[in-house]
């Protein structure tokens, strides 16, 4: 076994740490005994050099622009499988055969309704509440419905929790949307596909005929596949950390939704559309790019850059293709011209080249959603539906780890030295 030697230059003490070899990727130094044997912690804000866990679910290579779920390249999954097959793969580790696929799909359909008293929760929200705030609250409320009889140490209980969550997310998402526009909630239909049902629940009205557009249905399915997992991103790490305390899994997933909401994570697709609308016209692009490059402006080119992908984001390539297919069917959106021109400029500008900033998954997904008439406030909600498959798969992997422990990072304390509490009248 390879080891790395740590030497303390002050007292000459030496400690050897084993190096763990991954299937792919950089070797990982196991520093688990560093504190005990050496008396030191490590400091790594933003986890720039730290693997927080072992995982068998997803691998991504930022330099090569590769993404695989359970070893299968994302390009093949997006082309040959539907989203529910991908969910099955993430959860169970293998792709389903025809019989298992059918059983899984039936099970998802069986769980797609939400209780009426949960529906009534929506009445407590203002019509202008952000759908992510509603979704976070309603998903965490599921813990109140499924707690006492849920044994997270039981395999079947974990799996039914996973299927229930995947099944209910589109119903909750559509209910958030309907509430925000003051329309009556639409109940799921068992004869529709996963994404067809979501579109139906969002856009149909009681008493009116609604036909699911197959181009929209397939585009959503591919988008969901691409967003289903992305190894230890901020929201997934949050779900793992929250879940490590043994908390109710619905509460852990709600914590993931909270994390996803931020503009540096899942909120980026919403930010991209707002940015394109602000730019308005191709003639304003040069001025905008100049602002992005000005460090004092605080403006970023949203939908560009990624913590891990440093050559290209493979999901962005697939999404760009889907975007063209959707616009061919629905008609042109001038925002696509803006996005393509921005991409062209950024890919030839030294500022972006030197910093290895390429379009990420969110650069084109917003244009697709927007063309499908999904309002910007709902973009991150769409992301959350898809990512639920990844979150719950990671939660299961974490909870079933041998010697599973509560996550408890340490810190570098740089606050005040010890001091005595002054009486009230002596304080500033």
If the CB atoms of residues 144 and 340 are measured against ligand CMC, the closer one turns out to be 340
Strands (E), 189-271: none
Q: How far is the CB of 111 from ligand CMC (least distance, A)?
A: 27
Establish if 307 lies at the interface with ligand CMC (CB under 6 A).
yes
Q: How far is the CB of 409 from ligand CMC (least distance, A)?
A: 18
DSSP annotation of 304 reads: B
Q: d(Cα 303, Cα 279) in Å, to the nearest integer?
A: 14
CB 316 within 8 A of CB 359: yes
CB 141 within 8 A of CB 121: yes
If the CB atoms of residues 264 and 290 are measured against ligand CMC, the closer one turns out to be 264
Among 275, 289, 302, 338, binds ligand CMC (CB under 6 A): 302
Output the residue with the shortest Cβ distance to ligand CMC: 305
DSSP annotation of 62 reads: T
DSSP, residue by residue, 130-147 = -HHHHHHHHHHHHHHHSS
Alpha carbon of residue 141 to chain centroid = 20
Catalytic residue among 265, 313, 324, 394: 265
DSSP, residue by residue, 364-386 = HHHHHHHHTT--GGGHHHHHHHH
Residues 175-214 interacting with ligand CMC (rule: CB under 6 A): none
If the CB atoms of residues 114 and 301 are measured against ligand CMC, the closer one turns out to be 301
If the CB atoms of residues 121 and 261 are measured against ligand CMC, the closer one turns out to be 261
Can you name the residues that pair with 28 across neighbouring β-strands?
20
Q: d(Cα 319, Cα 170) in Å, to the nearest integer?
A: 21
Active site residue 362: yes
Question: Contact letters (x/-) for ligand CMC, 260-299, by CB under 6 A?
Answer: ----xxx-x-----------------------x-------
Catalytic residue among 179, 313, 362, 394: 362
Stretch that binds ligand CMC, among 23-31, 215-223, 277-285, 300-308 (CB under 6 A): 300-308
CB 122 within 8 A of CB 177: no
Active site residue 265: yes
# residues contacting ligand CMC (CB under 6 A): 20
Q: How far is the CB of 358 from ligand CMC (least distance, A)?
A: 10
Q: How far is the CB of 239 from ligand CMC (least distance, A)?
A: 14
For residue 42, the number of C-alpha atoms closer than 13 Å in the C-beta half-sphere is 16
Among 301, 323, 367, 382, binds ligand CMC (CB under 6 A): 301
CB 168 within 8 A of CB 115: no
Establish if 77 lies at the interface with ligand CMC (CB under 6 A).
no
Q: Is 5 helix (H, G, I), strand (E, B) or coil?
A: strand
Q: d(Cα 18, Cα 389) in Å, to the nearest integer?
A: 33
If the CB atoms of residues 212 and 302 are measured against ligand CMC, the closer one turns out to be 302
Q: How far is the CB of 234 from ligand CMC (least distance, A)?
A: 7
DSSP annotation of 183 reads: P
Q: How far is the CB of 66 from ligand CMC (least distance, A)?
A: 15
If the CB atoms of residues 113 and 310 are measured against ligand CMC, the closer one turns out to be 310
Q: Which residues are within 8 A (CB) of 409 and not within 5 positions of it... i.e. 6 or more apart?
A: none
* Nearest alpha-carbon partner for 33 in 56, 4, 9: 4
CB 122 within 8 A of CB 138: yes
Q: d(Cα 362, Cα 273) in Å, to the nearest integer?
A: 10
If the CB atoms of residues 277 and 328 are measured against ligand CMC, the closer one turns out to be 277
Q: d(Cα 306, Cα 233) in Å, to the nearest integer?
A: 11
Q: How far is the CB of 315 from ligand CMC (least distance, A)?
A: 9
Question: Contact letters (x/-) for ligand CMC, 342-381, by CB under 6 A?
Answer: -------------x-x--xxx-------------------
Residues 4-63 interacting with ligand CMC (rule: CB under 6 A): none
Active site residue 179: no
Establish if 227 lies at the interface with ligand CMC (CB under 6 A).
no
Among 304, 364, 369, 391, binds ligand CMC (CB under 6 A): 304
Q: Which residues are within 8 A (CB) of 129 and not within 5 positions of it... i.e. 6 or more apart?
A: 179, 180
Catalytic residue among 306, 324, 333, 420: 306
Stretch that binds ligand CMC, among 6-14, 204-212, 258-266, 318-326 (CB under 6 A): 258-266
DSSP annotation of 73 reads: E
If the CB atoms of residues 274 and 307 are measured against ligand CMC, the closer one turns out to be 307
Binding site for ligand CMC (CB under 6 A): 230, 233, 264-266, 268, 292, 300-307, 355, 357, 360-362
Active site residues: 265, 306, 362
């Amino acid at each position: 076994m390879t080891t790395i030697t740590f030497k303390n230059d002050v007292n000459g003490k030496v400690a050897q740490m084993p190096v763990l070899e991954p299937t792919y990727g950089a070797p990982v130094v196991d520093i688990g005994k560093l504190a005990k044997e050496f008396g030191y912690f490590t400091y790594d804000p933003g986890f720039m050099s730290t693997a927080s866990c072992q995982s068998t679910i997803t691998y991504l290579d930022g330099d090569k622009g590769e993404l695989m779920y359970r070893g299968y390249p994302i390009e093949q999954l997006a082309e040959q499988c539907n989203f529910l097959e991908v969910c099955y793969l993430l959860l169970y580790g293998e792709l389903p055969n025809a019989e298992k696929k059918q059983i899984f799909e039936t099970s998802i359909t069986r769980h797609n309704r939400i209780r009426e008293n949960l529906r009534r929760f929506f009445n407590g929200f203002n019509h202008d509440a952000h759908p992510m705030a509603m979704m976070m609250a309603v998903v965490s409320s599921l813990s109140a419905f499924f707690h006492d009889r849920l044994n997270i140490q039981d395999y079947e209980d974990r799996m039914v929790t996973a299927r229930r969550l995947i099944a209910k997310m589109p119903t909750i998402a559509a209910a958030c949307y309907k509430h925000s526009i003051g329309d009556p909630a639409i109940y799921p239909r068992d004869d529709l596909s996963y994404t067809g049902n979501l579109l139906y629940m969002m856009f149909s009205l009681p008493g009116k005929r609604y036909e699911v557009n197959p181009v929209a249905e397939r585009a959503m399915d591919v988008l969901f596949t691409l967003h289903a997992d992305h190894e230890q991103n901020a929201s997934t790490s949050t779900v793992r950390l929250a879940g490590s305390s043994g908390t109710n899994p619905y509460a852990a997933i709600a914590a993931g939704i909270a994390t996803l909401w931020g503009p540096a994570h899942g909120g980026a697709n919403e930010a991209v559309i707002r940015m394109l609308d602000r730019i308005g016209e191709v003639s304003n692009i040069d001025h905008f790019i100049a602002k992005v490059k000005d460090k004092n402006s605080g403006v970023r080119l949203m939908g560009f850059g990624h913590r891990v992908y440093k050559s290209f984001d493979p999901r962005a390539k697939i999404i760009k293709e889907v975007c063209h297919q959707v616009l061919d069917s629905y008609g042109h959106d001038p925002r696509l011209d803006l996005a393509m021109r921005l991409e062209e400029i950024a890919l030839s500008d030294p500022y972006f080249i030197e910093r290895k900033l390429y379009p990420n998954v969110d650069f084109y997904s917003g244009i697709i959603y927007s063309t499908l008439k999904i309002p910007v406030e709902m973009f991150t909600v769409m992301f959350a539906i898809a990512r639920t498959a990844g979150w719950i798969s990671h939660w299961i992997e974490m909870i079933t780890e041998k010697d599973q422990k509560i996550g408890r990072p340490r810190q570098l304390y740089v606050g005040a030295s010890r001091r005595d509490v002054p009486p009230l009248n002596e304080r500033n």
